[in-house]
Amino acid sequence: MQPIVKVKGLKKYYPVEKSWIDKLLSRERRWVRAVDSIDLEIERGETFSLVGESGSGKTTTGLVLMQLVEPTEGEILFEGRDIFSLREEERRRLRRDMQMVFQNPYASLNPRMTVEEIVGEPLTIHLGLKGEERRGRVIELLDIVGLNPGKYYVDRYPHEFSGGQRQRIAIARAIALRPKFIVADEPVSSLDVSIQATILNLLQELKREFKLTYLLIAHNLAVVRYMSDKLAIMYLGKIMEKGVSEDVFQNPQHPYTKALISAFPDINPDVKRDRVLLRGEIPSPIAPPPGCRFHTRCPFRLEICERDEPMLVEVEDGHLVACHMVE
Amino acid sequence: MGGGEPVLEVRDLRTYFPTMRGTVKAVDGISFTVLEGETVGLVGESGCGKSTAALSIMRLVPAPGRIVGGEVLLRGRDLLKLSEAEMRGVRGARIAMSFQDPMTFFNPVMRIGDQIAEGIIRHQRLSRREAWEKVISTLEVVGIPSPRDVAMSYPHQLSGGMRQRAMMAMALSCHPELMIADEPTTALDVIIQAQLLELMKDLKRELGMSSLIISHDLGVIAELCERVAVMYAGKIVEYSDIRRILREPRHPYTVGLLESIPRVGFKKERLIGIEGSVPDLIEPPPGCRFSPRCKYADEKCKEDPQLIELEEGHYVLCHHPVMGGG
């Protein structure tokens, strides 16, 4: 079966502003390599997660997929069509199928719009709905996301809602056009844990009911394990490991993946574990280390790691790792 | 560890904030102790009053908030009865506190070293040169690789993890009897968080310090603490040693909280979560404050529950404690 989303050789570089010294010495422009050549395939109906620390490029990947940022290089195929070679009109049509839920529901909802306007806006723009018809649709959507009765909430403003309720409004807006694919960028990380669980469950229910495909962007591995079918671990703009979620969790191969999993504080008092502690911090994406980008922090680094960049190799069915140790 | 003398005893502490709409009872009668060498956690979700409780112990509650009742005993002496001048001799010297966001904690236009030295000069009456030597050695203790460079830096020049370490160095610099850490790792990435957690465990082993950790993250609390108090809407609803709380939670809120957390070590099981949201603290629901969200609530829950000791050292504020670990 054809994957719903296919990403090939995606790169996104952002230019670094030249300082006056750089100009004086006519130094070359430098680039932040936010995403540096990644490939992804997302199958219809699955939840695919992008995992990594801040600065790993996971959010940039999501933004490029949503056509909110132009890629520097590479292709993105949605249902087999390259989205960046489409005509403007077709691209607009495509937005109905691809929607996004953002991290911070305090920033992603316009404080001067009512819930009816927020959730109804895409209905007006794409389907031309107005008046009672639109209002009825919005109320229905609010009921679906658990803000029921919807008519009780429809005329309110965002400030009248708690964080969890706001995220429900953002989700109602995202599903308003019956999309096929949703990018959820840290959808619960700004919420309290008891609320997180209810939002994660809502996302799961909607996925079943509307046959959605998700790209989940998250740093919380417990959330990722709970939600995903497949995942990719990113570090400094590259994919270090990807595969079926349970394969990666049960049999992590890359030292970085092992470090991430062991770093996570767990509430099980009986688990004794040896942490793979990493030294130092994530290097700058302006001048990523040569060879394997992870070598500066890797506890197992070999000489080759400083020189040659490892390729992604398959270690078991569909489980790929970019590390010289596993070749 | 534990079994020592109490370093800190908080008794029936109440901190209220008058507002236009009425009084917000942010902390409403909480009691707990921290024993010598012990690490105690205060855990709860946003708005439960855990940070206000910490600020109350330091007597740093922002106006118009006010401590309206209770006692905060540091080795038996009530801090709430001290003069402001006496209290200044306690803060930083006998009780030190670290905050969630070091960027707003540090002065942006002062070198890190000077900021840490300030407290040392004041509390230990050392010269500037001696104080700087201490600054460097303390920065080394918290695992900063080039302490001299960091001491000469301004806060914006450091990464989040480094700033958090520098803040911890500042807290440790005067050898406090009690350290309060408010959300010590919340703003950090998991890898850096793990480094900090290991550092805090090492420091605890080496210095034998007593500490109070405030966090929303039960995982962090589980790693660092021996005992934990779970807060909800201004009250402590459950209080016990950490293993017992994780294995056999008795308060329906604690049970709900634990069922809400996906675990990295387990495959998916359905998360349950807690429906509804935190109550208004101006007009809290009558009786048990968790009752509107509680599946076991009945008529009896409209009366105030009393803190009961279910087994030795395990306290629950509930009319219907959950049996069998939920």
DSSP string, B176-208: -SEEEEESTTTTS-HHHHHHHHHHHHHHHHHH-
- Cα distances (Å, whole numbers) of residue B90 to A110, A193, B175: 46, 35, 12
- The count of other CB atoms within 10 Å of the CB of residue B318 is 25
For B223-233, write each residue's pLDDT tens digit: 999 999 999 99
Q: Kindly calculate the radius of gyration of chain B based on its CA atoms and give it in whole angstroms.
A: 20
Counted residue by residue, chain A has a size of 327
- Select from A54, A164, A165 the Cβ nearest to the Cβ of B189: A54
- The count of other CB atoms within 10 Å of the CB of residue A159 is 9
What sign does the CA torsion over A163, A169, A170, A175 have?
A: positive
Count CA atoms closer than 13 A to A164's CA, side-chain side: 23
In chain A, the residue whose alpha carbon lies closest to the alpha carbon of B279 is: A162
pLDDT for res A272: 63
Place of tokens 């009053």: B49
Lowest mean pLDDT among A223-237, B267-281, B282-296: B267-281
pLDDT for res B310: 92
Distance of CA A183 to the CA centre of its chain: 6
Nearest to B261 by CA among B253, B271, B269: B271
The residue of A162, A193, A230 whose CB has the most chain B CBs within 10 angstroms, and thus the best one to mutate to test that interface, is A193
What gap in Å lies between CA B79 and CA B83, rounded to an integer?
A: 9
Q: What is the pTM for the complete model shown?
A: 0.88
- The count of other CB atoms within 10 Å of the CB of residue B226 is 16
Which residue intervals of A216-310 are DSSP H helices?
Answer: 221-227, 245-250, 255-263
- Residues of B within 8 A of A221 (CB-CB) are 190, 264
Sheet with B6-18, strands from edge to edge, namely B23-35, B6-18, B66-74, B77-78
Sheet with A238-244, strands from edge to edge, namely A98-101, A181-185, A213-218, A47-51, A230-235, A238-244, A319-321, A313-316
Q: Does the pLDDT at position A91 exceed 70?
A: yes
User: Are the C-beta atoms of A182 and A101 separated by less than 8 Å?
Assistant: yes
Interchain CB contact of A106 with B (< 8 Å): no
Q: Would residue B208 be called left, alpha or beta, if left means φ above 0 and alpha means ψ between -120 and 50 degrees?
A: left
Count CA atoms closer than 13 A to B261's CA, side-chain side: 20
Nearest to A249 by CA among A238, A237, A266: A266
Q: Does the pLDDT at position B143 exceed 80?
A: yes
pLDDT for res B7: 96
Q: If contacts are CB pairs under 8 Å, which of residues 61-120 in chain B contact chain A?
A: none
Angle at B54 between CA B82 and CA B233, to 5 degrees: 125
> Can you name the residues that pair with A321 across neighbouring β-strands?
A241, A313
User: Are the C-beta atoms of B235 and B53 separated by less than 8 Å?
Assistant: no
Q: Which residues of B286-309 are buried (b: 16+ CB within 10 A; e: fewer)?
A: ebbbbbebbeebeeebeeebebee
- Count of CB pairs separated by less than 8 Å, A with B: 122
Task: Check CB contact under 8 Å for B264 and A201.
Answer: no
pLDDT for res A41: 95
Task: Check CB contact under 8 Å for A193 and B260.
Answer: yes
Q: If contacts are CB pairs under 8 Å, which of residues 167-206 in chain B contact chain A?
A: 189-195, 197-198
Interchain CB contact of B148 with A (< 8 Å): no
Token duo for residue B251: 């308060």
Q: H-helix or E-strand containing A242?
A: strand A238-244
pLDDT for res B208: 87
Read off φ and ψ for residue A123, nearest 5 degrees.
-65, -35
The maximal CA–CA distance of chain B, rounded, in angstroms, is 67
- Select from A165, A259, A265 the Cβ nearest to the Cβ of B219: A265
For A296-319, write each residue's pLDDT tens digit: 999 998 999 999 999 999 999 999
What gap in Å lies between CA B101 and CA B97, rounded to an integer?
A: 12
- The count of other CB atoms within 10 Å of the CB of residue B194 is 23
- Residues of B within 8 A of A261 (CB-CB) are 264
Distance of CA B159 to the CA centre of its chain: 23
Interchain CB contact of B274 with A (< 8 Å): yes
For A160-179, write each residue's pLDDT tens digit: 998 899 999 999 999 999 99
The residue of B264, B270, B274, B281 whose CB has the most chain A CBs within 10 angstroms, and thus the best one to mutate to test that interface, is B264
Task: Check CB contact under 8 Å for A281 and B192.
Answer: yes
pLDDT tier at B287, thresholds 50, 70, 90: very high
Amino acid in the structure at residue A180 = K
DSSP A93-150: HHHTTEEEE-S-TTTSS-TTS-HHHHHHHHHHHHH---HHHHHHHHHHHHHHTT--SH
Percent of chain B with pLDDT over 70: 96
Read off φ and ψ for residue A154, nearest 5 degrees.
-65, -30
Residues 6 or more apart whose Cβ sits within 8 Å of residue A158: A105, A106, A109, A110, A111, A113, A115, A118, A166, A169
Read off φ and ψ for residue A149, nearest 5 degrees.
-75, 135
What sign does the CA torsion over B1, B7, B12, B13 have?
A: negative
The arithmetic mean of pLDDT across residues A128-150, rounded, is: 94
pLDDT for res B267: 60
Interchain CB contact of A54 with B (< 8 Å): yes
Task: Check CB contact under 8 Å for A260 and B190.
Answer: yes
Judged by DSSP in three states, B30 sits in strand
pLDDT for res B1: 45
Task: Check CB contact under 8 Å for A261 and B264.
Answer: yes
Task: Check CB contact under 8 Å for A268 and B189.
Answer: no
- Residues of A within 8 A of B275 (CB-CB) are 198
pLDDT tier at A281, thresholds 50, 70, 90: confident
Q: Would residue A154 be called left, alpha or beta, if left means φ above 0 and alpha means ψ between -120 and 50 degrees?
A: alpha
pLDDT for res B266: 63
- Select from B190, B247, B270 the Cβ nearest to the Cβ of A53: B190
- Closest-CA distance, B51 to chain A, in angstroms, reads 15
For B42-98, write each residue's pLDDT tens digit: 999 888 999 999 999 999 999 999 999 999 999 999 999 999 999 999 998 999 999
The arithmetic mean of pLDDT across residues B14-24, rounded, is: 93
User: Are the C-beta atoms of A11 and A70 separated by less than 8 Å?
Assistant: no
- Residues of A within 8 A of B257 (CB-CB) are 193-194
Q: Does the pLDDT at position A1 exceed 80?
A: no
Lowest mean pLDDT among A187-191, A266-270, A280-284, B191-195: A266-270
In chain B, the residue whose alpha carbon lies closest to the alpha carbon of A259 is: B191
For A176-199, write each residue's pLDDT tens digit: 999 999 999 999 988 888 889 999
pLDDT for res B159: 86
Q: If contacts are CB pairs under 8 Å, which of residues 192-211 in chain A contact chain B?
A: 192-198, 200-201
Amino acid in the structure at residue B148 = R
Place of tokens 């409209």: B302
User: Are the C-beta atoms of B42 and B53 separated by less than 8 Å?
Assistant: yes
Distance of CA A79 to the CA centre of its chain: 19
Query: What mean pLDDT, rounded, does chain B reach?
Result: 90
What gap in Å lies between CA A95 and CA B186, rounded to an integer?
A: 35
